[in-house]
Structure 1
Amino acid sequence: MKPKALEYLVCPSCKKELTLEEAVYDGHGKDIVEGRLHCAEQGVSFPILNGVPVFLEEFKEMDRTQKAFGNQWKLHSKGFFEKGKIFGRDEQKCLGHIEEYYGLSAERGDGNGKVFLDAGCGLAPYAKTFAKYFPGAESFGVDMSESVMHVDSEGLENLHLVRCDLRNPPFREGFADVGWSYGVLHHTPDTEDAFQRLAKIIKSDGQLYIWVYSKHNTKYSFLIRSLLVAPYRFPLKVNYVLSYLFAVPVWLVYRAHYLVRSLNKDVRPKLKKHGYLNIATGIHDSLVPEYQNYHWVDEVKGWFKAAGFETVEVVGDIGVVGARKR
């Protein structure tokens, strides 16, 4: 944990400042690797484990989901799924999304001075990208699962990792300038409630992007989940194997479709290749969570409007980016 993070972290319950206690620093004396953050108001302490502050007391209804995703990202970090990519996205793809959706430019450096929040970050590809290309910004990657323990920080001094419940985050209202949450909120018991809690920590002139499952577009991974009936109850190893097995026929269908359509020179540049490991990752991501909610575009746009976002734009099937008045 970077000492700079203390300027932003607060007690999740009372939002009061935290005191660093029993800190153990790394060999360079820069990062805090062990210790605890104490809230005098509540009389509680939160541990810092392997450099990551942990703000979790009990998971209750989210226990199965956090364990499943923790296992998924642990496997991913060890190379069992895609290598160098997450859901088909590499660093340049992440940067492209940041620049397009928020109107920021790495070349101009107009993300410097901002606070970026990757809510439900997994292995934190977007948080790392923002930190790398906007070195004057502070970039936070937060997740409920153990995924943040497996993130390679790559020596980025402005990257901060936090393990917490997005529905009760250790940040004050209006904490972040830019918020990002891809494929996360629909895995909570109440997607809208999770969104509203996230929206509260975005500044009054900030921007927020979310992507959730759409009722307009049912993908192969969701059909497979329905076919298996509550696969999240299966042992984690079984779902891992199933994701690879089901990926074979899906990949073959995509490959045949690609080859046929590629004969048409007019559509060839627009075709997207679906790699086998990318498909397996998507299937696994759909099988393991207990909660999986689907929403209409107008429904999600309504959430943004209710939260005070004046400019609301739909990106893709049901990716939505909103901006509050500047």
Structure 2
Amino acid sequence: MKLRLLEWLVCPACSKPFSHTPLACVGDETTEGLLSCDCGCCYPIVGGIPRVVEDAFVLFSAFAEKYADLIPNARPVRVDNHPSGEALRRTRESFGYQWTAFSTMVVDFRENFLEYIHPIKPSFFPGKRGLDVGCGFGRHIANAAQFGAEMVGIDISSAIDVTYENTRNLSNVHLVQADVYRMPFRRGTFDFAYSIGVLHHLPDPEAGFRQLVSVVRPEGVVFIWVYSKKRRVVNALLEGARMFTTRLSPRVQMALSWVAAAVDWGGFVVPHRVLSGLPGIGPVVRRLTVPRLKVYGNYPFQVAWADWFDRLAAPIRFYYNDKDLDAWLKRSDLGRTLVSPTGLFGWRAYGERVKQAHISTRS
């Protein structure tokens, strides 16, 4: 953990600043330590990452045993005690497994990131401080940091460790293992915050969105991407399959997603690649091809495999339309809003926080 991160961290229970006890350091970074608050809350720093989740000393029991004399008041709290605890636990396990399995940054995902955040350009980022909610294995936060922003990323799962490895060469990236419903940041800390492909996996997506807005400064920017309701038949078929696949073990889910990706890849993506490269008919094929084939045609097989795992394994999936997102933006008092589709698959939403607006984080 870089010491600069302490400027923005607060206890999620009482919103007071943490006291920092470094226990092991490499250079100017704390690799092991404690964050404690006068209210009695205490959280470990493990592997260079603050673990600001309720059950941190359960997840990192070896740390708790090693430093037991320093944390006498730390009481392990399991995530099941959260109002949506079981759903959060399963979601955390699923995405931790997914991004540990698909940890390699096979491409830079720059164009992918820009498509999700359109109409924002790379020139938006320099000199700003941003938050990536649900950073997964780090593909989006890496691009935002490379564009020039000082970035903080949170993820509730062990995927945060994958992001750490994938961004450790970026001095302007800070990471925290944290729950979007209990974010450990001062209100108004960030110039912008985004969540791409994450909110629709939460038990209460709009509540997560309100938390996102709450940590952005007045006149700051919020942008998100979520699944679309447009493909009603496809979504219905997928949800029918998910009634079965979400009950399977991760190993079986991994095997099934490989089969689905192989059929998708071999039956559609590869033929598109071949035909679009042929003289004469190539331009016609590229013009008539559905957007998803163009997207997957630019990536290696692993990307399709990871996406199929997400479709079949994620415990929760919600779908939205433009009216839903317009309502979110309005209820959060955001101005200069823009909602736009990314084909049939999803919706982008953009808004700017109105100066002096009060954002309620309650349901």
Which of the numbers 254, 258, 266 marks the counterpart of 1:244? 258
Matched ranges for 1:1-326 at <5 A: 1-26=1-26, 29-40=27-38, 42-57=39-54, 58-59=78-79, 60-61=85-86, 62-77=88-103, 79=104, 84-85=106-107, 90-93=108-111, 96-97=114-115, 100-105=118-123, 111-134=125-148, 137-151=149-163, 152=165, 153-217=167-231, 223-255=237-269, 256=271, 263=281, 265-266=283-284, 268=286, 271=289, 272=294, 274=296, 275-315=300-340, 316=342, 317-325=346-354
Structure 2 Cα separation of the partners of residues 18 and 122 of structure 1: 26
SS of equivalent residue, structure 1 residue 233: coil
How big is each residue's C-alpha offset from its partner over 1:20-54, in whole Å with a ceiling of 9 and x where there is no partner?
A: 0143111xx221100010111x1121100100001
CA-CA distance at 1:99 after TM superposition: 7.7
CA-CA distance at 1:249 after TM superposition: 2.1
Change in 2 beyond 3 A, CA 1:203/1:103:
farther
Structure 2 Cα separation of the partners of residues 179 and 265 of structure 1: 39
Where in structure 1 are there 5+ consecutive unaligned residues? none
- Greater mean deviation of Cα atoms: 269-278 or 308-317: 269-278
When normalised by structure 1's length, the TM-score is 0.86
Structure 1 Cα separation of the partners of residues 231 and 150 of structure 2: 35
- Greater mean deviation of Cα atoms: 259-268 or 278-287: 259-268
When normalised by structure 2's length, the TM-score is 0.78
Change in 2 beyond 3 A, CA 1:55/1:156:
same
| Number of residue pairs matched by the alignment | 309
In terms of fraction of residues, the more helix-rich structure is 2
Specify the code of the residue in structure 1 equivalent to 2:119.
Answer: Y
CA-CA distance at 1:218 after TM superposition: 5.0
How big is each residue's C-alpha offset from its partner over 1:180-206, in whole Å with a ceiling of 9 and x where there is no partner?
A: 101111111111111112111122111
Specify the code of the residue in structure 1 equivalent to 2:210.
Answer: Q
How big is each residue's C-alpha offset from its partner over 1:198-255, in whole Å with a ceiling of 9 and x where there is no partner?
A: 1111221111111111111359687345225242221110000000011122223423
Percent of counterpart pairs with the same letter? 30
CA-CA distance at 1:270 after TM superposition: 7.7
Structure 2 Cα separation of the partners of residues 38 and 164 of structure 1: 15
Q: Which runs of 4+ in 1 moved over 4 A?
A: 97-100, 218-222, 256-262
